[in-house]
Structure 1
Amino acid sequence: MAELIRMGGLELRFLQEGSGTGGGLDLFEMQVAPQARMPVPHYHESWDETVFGLEGAVTFRVEGQDRPVGPGESLFIRRGQVHGFRNEGPGPARCLCILTPGVLGPGYFREIAGLLAATPPDPAALRAVMLRHGLVPVPEG
């Protein structure tokens, strides 16, 4: 059974994780609510990310350039590339996210979801969880 994790305007359904793929990959479906976005641009230290569009369009901002990913389109984000994403559309957008190698897993997202449930969320705690899991937040500017 796939694990479902909800946090803010994001919903992730984990389909595969590194612990079950010999560290080969993490695979999850991500649904982004209308007008939702990843609040903190970041980069990954230890994995690459490939995104495949399923429904609607998720706009990824990679190294300062907007790259919309719609149904049937894909985007490769190399480790170290600063990125974030948003859904500017009127309806939900869905994509598959493939992380290689599979070193992140759902634990990171569970922790972030727990922190986001607090009102207001603690930015220092969010940053600490990101760093501990290999995501490096980068201030917008």
Structure 2
Amino acid sequence: MSDTGDPESVVKRGDDVDYEPVDAAEGLSKGVLLDESDGAPNFAMRRFELAPGAAVPRHTNAVEHEQYVLAGEYVVGIGDEERPVSPGDALLIPAGVEHWYRNEGDEPG
């Protein structure tokens, strides 16, 4: 933020994003693209990568998730349904709905 309190724009290069392992699942890493530290107090944009053979266990979240698949193919479970997803697919997972992920492929998803 500037001294005047006006919001400032942010352009963060992909190479400047640090990725770290996520404790919830082996083979899952996360990079924070934008969040409150960038001046977005009500928004977080993150990029996750799920390694081949890795899975994220069933869980719920207090807030909805909007997701966009950038690369790879994997299975996402939402509620009592499983669906394969691939690049270009978009997902909406409502708050409080159980969901999980499984990468059965040979490349990261």
Instruction: Name the larger-Rg structure.
Output: 2
TM-score range, shorter chain: 0.7 to 0.9
Matched, 1:2 2:13: no
Is the contact between residue 61 and residue 67 of structure 1 (CA under 8 Å) also seen in structure 2?
Answer: yes
Unaligned stretches of 5+ residues in structure 1: 94-141
CA 1:76/1:13 → structure 2, altered by over 3 Å: closer, same or farther?
A: same
With over 3 angstroms needed to count, the CA separation of the structure-2 counterparts of 1:50 and 1:91, relative to structure 1, is: same
What is the count of residue pairs matched by the alignment?
Answer: 91
Identity of aligned residues (%): 27
* 1:58 correspondence with 2:74: yes
Question: What does the per-residue CA deviation read over 1:107-135, in whole Å, with 9 as the maximum and x for residues that have no partner?
Answer: xxxxxxxxxxxxxxxxxxxxxxxxxxxxx
Shift of 1:91: 1.4
Q: Which runs of 5+ in 2 are unaligned?
A: 1-15
Kept after mapping to 2: 8 A contact 1:48/1:76: yes
CA–CA separation in structure 2 for the residues paired with 1:86 and 1:17: 26
Asked if 2 retains the 8 angstrom alpha-carbon contact of 1:69 and 1:75, the reply is no
Alpha-carbon distance change, 50 to 36 in structure 1, aligned in 2, over 3 angstroms: same
Q: Name 2:6's counterpart in structure 1.
A: none
**SS, match of residue 44 in structure 1:** coil
Contact kept, 8 Å, 1:58 with 1:88, in 2: the verdict is yes
Q: CA RMSD in A?
A: 1.5
Larger proportion of helix: 1
Q: 1:26 and 1:5 mapped to 2: Cα distance?
A: 16
Tell me which of the two structures has the higher relative contact order, counting C-alpha pairs closer than 8 angstroms and 6 or more residues apart.
Answer: 1
| 8 A contact 1:52–1:69 mirrored in 2 | no
- 2:38 corresponds to: 20
| TM-score, length of structure 1 as denominator length | 0.59
Tell me the TM-score normalized by structure 2: 0.74
